[in-house]
Amino acid sequence: MDGKKVVDILLVEDDQGDVELTREGLAAGKVSVNLHTVDDGIKALRFLRREESYADAVRPDIILLDLNLPRMDGRDTLKQIKADERLRSIPVVVLTTSEADIDIIKCYDLGASCYISKPVGFVDFLKVVHSLEDFWFTVVKMPPKDQ
């Protein structure tokens, strides 16, 4: 790409509008992003475990996880990711509309790397995406993908 750092992100999000906002925010960032998306927790686990149609999936550098998902919600997905020895080192950022203390506490108890409530407005949402990118891809030292 153009000399920028390249990262793989798995976005687990069922709202197409939020997927597009995230894609737009990351496209304008400092790093080149391969954004992979799935719309529920079951597909997320299949992607991460390279099962079925995801046999060629890459191991993401980070997971952006919504909580309110069909079939398997984000809490159960997070619990299974962190219980899997092969996946637990992947940072999981919960990015959701919930501001409930019970959700925040539960997600940290389950091993979330951080918890962010999605802002309502377009500009504020883009600011959050840029902040995530700045922190996770320029400040934080990430584990190697093969761990």
Domains of the chain from N-terminus onward: 6-137 (3.40.50.2300)
| Per-residue pLDDT reduced to its tens digit, 91-128 | 999 999 999 999 999 999 999 999 999 888 888 888 88
Angle at 126 between CA 122 and CA 10, to 5 degrees: 115
pTM over cut 0.85: yes
> Residues with Cβ < 8 Å from 72, sequence gap 6 or more?
40, 41, 42, 44, 45
pLDDT of residue 3: 57
Name the more confident of 48 and 31.
48
Quick one: how far is CA 58 from the chain centroid? 14
31-49 average pLDDT score:
96
Mark out the alpha helices in the chain (DSSP H runs).
16-27, 41-49, 74-83, 101-109, 122-134
Smallest CA-to-CA distance from 7 within 27, 110, 94 is with 27
